[in-house]
Structure 1
Amino acid sequence: MNSKRSLARRSAAVAAAAAAALALAACGGSGDGSAGHNGHTATSPSASAPASPGRHNAADVAFAKGMIPHHRQAVEMADLAPSRAQSAEVKKLAEDIKKAQDPEIKTMSGWLTSWGEEVPAESAMDHSMHGADGMMTAEEMEQLKDSSGQAFDTAFMEMMIKHHKGAVQMAKTEQADGAYEPAKKMAGAIITSQTAEITQMNKLLGTD
């Protein structure tokens, strides 16, 4: 009788131990899952960090700071076309250039602001850049403003080809050296669109 009672006690103890083990396992499992979830939550911000505005380098800053005044000058040139150009193709080209580059100026200005960098001032059309990267000199801009008709069309396209070539080179540098994916993507779009426009202008000039 005592052996039966002892056996029953041992069986109950084993069952209790098993139940306790299961409870601990469940708790541990829940804890692991919770830790895993919490760990995932904790690492999510860093996982998304590459897409954050801070993930950039000096080449990205140089690209934005250089391309903003470059684009502004192209838009300034394009603004002259409606009242001076003779060719419908040149007027359309100027319209397309402005339509593409105005939003890019705003986008790049936003990047610089988010990076804590200064956006190039509009009033200072960075005269130090004139003649570099395809930028027009003050004299060339005056020449363009003073021309009209066929003379304007020719001058506009010759200058814009030079201007576009400078932008394409700047964009290639960004693709090679930059780290910020949106900037590298914009650089690719600039290379594609402006190379196509260079080809178009060369055809209109009869120099292709």
Structure 2
Amino acid sequence: MTSKRSLVRRTVAVATAGAAAVVLAACGGSDDSATSGHDGHTTKSPSASASASQGQHNTADVMFAQGMIPHHRQAVEMADLASTRAQGAQVKTLAEDIKKAQDPEIQTLSGWLTSWGEDVPAEDAMDHSMHESGGMMTAEEMDKLEKSSGKAFDTAFLEMMIKHHEGAVAMAKSEQTDGVYGPAKKMADAIVTSQSAEITQMNTLLGRN
């Protein structure tokens, strides 16, 4: 009986040692295969694929972001003036809507540029080449708007913002055509839709429709 128990113990010990050896070998093999897997298949890992997908952008995307940031900043500056200078309630509401929409977009655009390693336009940056193609207001036009009030302000604001929006829509359409970064193209779609509708609304307020 004693010899049988001893034999059982030895058998269990051998089996346990063998199992441990198998486990250790498996662990070692797992480490080796993981290393070779990362070396040979880095781009196929889910996290890397997601990062690559999110990071795909081109020159058009960069130009869209860098151009739209100062453009939006000026629109927000114009909208801020309306709170104390506008006469019409609809003009004030429109200005507030513009600010609410474009302030967050400035932050988003800035975030994209930072993640791409591109320069974010400085607060006082102004691309004068955009005055015509981008619908940006000149310093003189902004000065005129700032010195206006009441109905005169409403008219000047609406006329300038129509021009400003038309420039933004043109920039957004270029992004739709030439950009490749999904979120930027989605923002461009939203800008075309919302600002085209606001152009129609502003023309109505001016009695042009």
2-structure distance, mates of 1:79, 1:205: 20
Question: 2:87 maps to which residue?
Answer: 86
Tell me the number of residue pairs that the alignment of Structure 1 and Structure 2 aligns: 174
Question: 1:48 maps to which residue?
Answer: 50
Give the letter for the 2:143 counterpart: E
Give the letter for the 2:103 counterpart: D
Contact 2:43 2:49 in 1 (8 A): no
2-structure distance, mates of 1:173, 1:114: 22
Question: 2:96 maps to which residue?
Answer: 95
1-structure distance, mates of 2:106, 2:181: 16
- CA deviation vs aligned residue, 1:41-72 (integer Å, no higher than 9, x gap): 944245324532x2100000000000000000
1-structure distance, mates of 2:57, 2:207: 42
Question: 2:109 maps to which residue?
Answer: 108
- Residues 11-22 of structure 1: pairs in structure 2 closer than 5 A: none
In the TM superposition, what is the alpha-carbon distance from 1:92 to its structure 2 partner? Answer: 0.3
1-structure distance, mates of 2:42, 2:136: 49
Contact 1:74 1:160 in 2 (8 A): yes
- Structure 1 183/87 Cα, relative in aligned 2: closer, same or farther at 3 Å? same
TM-score for the superposition, normalised by structure 2: 0.77
Whether 1:77 aligns to 2:96 is no
Question: 2:5 maps to which residue?
Answer: none
Contact 2:75 2:98 in 1 (8 A): yes
- CA deviation vs aligned residue, 1:151-173 (integer Å, no higher than 9, x gap): 00000000000000000010000
- CA deviation vs aligned residue, 1:65-120 (integer Å, no higher than 9, x gap): 00000000000000000110000000000000000000000000000000000000
Give 1 or 2 for the bigger CA radius of gyration.
1
1-structure distance, mates of 2:59, 2:43: 31
In the TM superposition, what is the alpha-carbon distance from 1:125 to its structure 2 partner? Answer: 3.0
In the TM superposition, what is the alpha-carbon distance from 1:40 to its structure 2 partner? Answer: 10
- Structure 1 177/41 Cα, relative in aligned 2: closer, same or farther at 3 Å? closer
Whether 1:61 aligns to 2:65 is no
Q: Give 5+ residue unaligned stretches, structure 2.
A: 1-32
Give the letter for the 1:126 counterpart: D
Contact 1:55 1:179 in 2 (8 A): yes
How many percent of aligned residue pairs carry the same amino acid?
Answer: 72
Give the letter for the 1:153 counterpart: D
Contact 1:65 1:119 in 2 (8 A): yes
2-structure distance, mates of 1:112, 1:145: 31
1-structure distance, mates of 2:43, 2:85: 59
Whether 1:199 aligns to 2:200 is yes
2-structure distance, mates of 1:182, 1:115: 13
C-alpha RMSD of matched pairs (Å): 2.1
- Structure 1 41/110 Cα, relative in aligned 2: closer, same or farther at 3 Å? closer
Contact 1:130 1:138 in 2 (8 A): no
2-structure distance, mates of 1:162, 1:41: 46
Q: Give 5+ residue unaligned stretches, structure 1.
A: 1-33
